[in-house]
Structure 1
């Protein structure tokens, strides 16, 4: 349910409307991209929990398209590539994450595992990628639509509140 909610939020962020006072303002676009990055990162986390590793890798790459310095996405991508047996790219990706946050223990641990795998101390499972669906439309915003009086910020705020309530109810239900 959480993954579906994040997809809905991403869809909303992609099809957002512009109010009459700020048509395509650069500031607003940055804010929307920040929300996209947050939703995509949360979607990748949900996909990992669901065992959707191909989709999580694709979603992490989408985050990095929008924010190449995103440590969470770099870490997830590096870990997934390592699990997949793509050691060279995984090492490169994890080193980028480490440069950005050198004190993060999880990155150090994953790099250590990767070095062991490269040395042949552990075998990797075969893993074949399949293309993720319905993520690419979230990367490029549509052309501006004619305003109809409701601020996109209001809609976004309402969506965030609804999404938070949904995730909270899912977590509470799962605990019972």
Structure 2
């Protein structure tokens, strides 16, 4: 399955690079119809949906990816970014902390944590 998955996701990435996000989404959704426990495919789906401006669906796909692979720091980071984008800063901060617990050197996670910490403190009026 790994080679087949790689081929499908490579095709989806190529479609996205060409700006064909709807086609990319359709390909990934077809794959997920047959492989509903593929966390990486849900992560790819989230990215394509985000590019289409379908942010609520993108967040849902991120949540599904993390549900399927809750220890994956890349998926946790992407969920934190999606949560932040939707205004869920406290949940995003908790999620980025989980990411950093798994991978303290994750690129971007320290910066996101710092920005979120300031935003959450500011929102709480502290």
Structure 2 length normalisation: TM-score? 0.71
- How many aligned positions are there? 101
Alpha-carbon distance, 1:85 to partner: 2.8
Q: Aligned partners of 1:54, 1:76: CA distance in 2, in Å? A: 14
1:52-131 matched pairs, under 5 angstroms: 52-120=54-122
Q: Which residue of 2 aligns with 1:10?
A: 32
Q: Aligned partners of 2:73, 2:56: CA distance in 1, in Å? A: 19
Alpha-carbon distance, 1:99 to partner: 1.0
Please tell me whether Structure 1 or Structure 2 has the larger radius of gyration of its CA atoms: 1
Q: Which residue of 2 aligns with 1:173?
A: none
Higher RCO by CA contacts (8 Å cutoff, separation 6 or greater): 1
Unaligned runs of 5+ in 1: 15-32, 122-176
Structure 1 length normalisation: TM-score? 0.52
Alpha-carbon distance, 1:40 to partner: 0.8
User: Where does structure 1 differ by over 4 angstroms across 4 or more consecutive aligned residues?
Assistant: none
Unaligned runs of 5+ in 2: 1-22
